[in-house]
A and B are shown apart, each in its own frame.
Chain A
Amino acid sequence: MAKRIDVSGLHVYYGDFLAVEDVSMTIEPRSVTAFIGSSGCGKSTFLRTLNRMHEVTPGARAQGKVLLDDLDIYGPDVDPVMVRSEVGMVFQKANPFPTMSIYDNVIAGARLNNRRMSKSEADDLVEQSLRGANLWEEVKDRLNKPGSGLSGGQQQRLCIARATAVKPSVLLMDEPCSALDPISTLAIEDLIHQLKEDYTIVIVTHNMQQAARVSDRTAFFNLSAPGKPGKLVEMGETNQIFTRPEKKETENYITGRFG
């Protein structure tokens, strides 16, 4: 069910402001792709164009092609709502629905879409998704408690369970560990390793060690100059990017000479 993403010539604008310029890349299925780069270089913005989430921001628009397998998600008759159920997303800040229990949070994708399912189907889906997110053992006795009562790391795994419960083919993660302690981060990274068996995973991170640990391929974004749009500098096997980068810019960044 994992799908390949092919981006070609993508420009992202906020109103008249060009935020990300001319990105072309291929994201392989059943692998983890990491986006690294300094703050404000457009990697999160670019990530959000992969499930048309940027359209939620007033004035934001994208030009170019994003092929999900062979379908252009910016095609004229493509419904962004359907794109998002195919390309799920996990956010920087864990955001479980505060009015819902842990159980309801996990099946929120189905419930909010009024999909009919029997009690046993729902139970199965909840257990399977929570197990998939390595959270089942911790919450199985308090499924009816509110999700906001969990710790930050547990909430983030709950959000991952919620995202996988709609069975997407791609999972986008926007700095999923930036608000977590090292132990919770490790739990999420382990989870990412397991999830890549079934999903195409794209992760934005500020933490280069994390990129090196979890990803198969890494893309480095940077601003061409302050005030100029962000661009994709280089992309390749994580190993190669971190040991033998082709561009001087990349080397400066990963060796900590700036950013």
Chain B
Amino acid sequence: MKRWIPLIVFAVLVGFFAKGLFLNPREVPSPFIGKAAPAFTLPVVGSAEKTFSPADMQGKVWVLNVWAPWCVSCRQEHPVLMGLAQSQPVPIVGLNWKDKDREAEALLAQAGSPYAFVPDDLSGKVGIDYGVTGTPETYVIDKAGIVRMKHIGPIDPDVWKEKFEPKLKELGA
């Protein structure tokens, strides 16, 4: 019996590998998918009095884009978002995450802002509530305020077309 052990161990491993071939290790599910978007109220960049809260978007399908002025891949993504802001398939809210150097306002004034609102998450707390692992990250939130999709990393035209467009269509944006 003992001499068969290596073969049996190997056979079990092969079974797992065969299963593993059809799984995608990079796809990390967000526990927030299908749940209500965490509520918050934050001041808006460039204005002392105005605030933004997800409740303001009730009844609309919208996109929450977590970005920061110090984030390089967010700059890569910026022109893509600018293009989207022009064709306006959906409002984009840009959560300004941990902008300790207060650079967002100047940057958006200079490079243009693709955002409908720019809530200012200086402490990073809202980002934590949303489970942000790094910038940029983008959430699709439906009319009832439920998180429907999360994308990690910069959005490029292909990602938008293949991942976002079908989802937005499904949600009736």
A and B found bound together: no
